[in-house]
Amino acid sequence: MTILFGTLGWRPQSLLPSIRSTEHLDRVLFYHSDHAKSRDARSKVVEFCRSLGVACTAVEVSDAYDLLQAAGQMRADVRKEKAAGAELRFNIAGGTRLMSSAALLVCILEGIPATYVHDETYREIPLPLLRMTYGEGLTPKQRDALAFLVKNREKRFSETALARALGVHKATMNHHLRKLEAVGAIERQSDPADGRRLIIVPAPGIELLLG
């Protein structure tokens, strides 16, 4: 069983070649914007799938220019299908550039084969299979600290308060935080309630990379 994921813009032709070429295709799941032309393209893709007897799910992205939101939604769907044991591939040729970028990011994080379709010839171009797990470069303690900050994003933790919350020595926490800061996972900001105090906050969207 293979599920084809895709991003769709205004041209259904960007997705159709992958639908035709995917072996043992069980279902197509693609994302599109709320633009009228994108919705028109959606209808044509759905009709094409229906003519082949292939199930099709179209997902309208609420903001086609929000990379992190789109990537988060796509990754959640991808993980759900992977957990069910499906083989996956992803056509990233359509949609806004940020939608395509979000799809490519998900492919890299989840190790999914991605393909592009040429704008003029509509020939499929397989992309190199890449896999990156952001958290593998962190120690378990660093991952724990980062996960704690993500889970408690609405709270304000100084370095000392964070060390106390996680039950580690302040010097040890300082070492972990310097590593996290070096890889762009956290930021030190002035506390809005006390400008003399620095608080530790997770970088925007880091929960997506943390997995």
Q: What is the pLDDT of residues 59-80, one digit of tens each?
A: 999 999 999 899 999 999 999 9
| Vertex 173: Cα angle to 155 and 146 (nearest 5) | 50
The CA distance from 150 to 182, in Å, is 17
pLDDT at res. 24: 93
Please identify which residue in the block is written with the tokens 């997506």.
Answer: 208
The two three-digit tokens of residue 138, written as one number: 């962190």
**Between 67 and 129, the higher pLDDT residue:** 67
pLDDT at res. 196: 81
pLDDT at res. 130: 67
pLDDT at 161 over 90: yes
CATH 3.40.50.10770 fits 2-126, yes or no: yes
Q: For the domain 134-210, what is the CATH code?
A: 1.10.10.10
pLDDT at res. 85: 92
Three-state SS at 167: coil
pLDDT at res. 63: 93
pLDDT at res. 131: 64
- Mean predicted lDDT score pLDDT of the chain: 90
Share of the chain above pLDDT 90, in %: 66
Q: Where are the domains of the chain?
A: 2-126, 134-210
pLDDT at res. 90: 97
73-87, 130-144, 154-168: range with lowest mean pLDDT: 130-144
**For residues 27-35, average pLDDT:** 97
Q: What is the pTM of this model?
A: 0.74
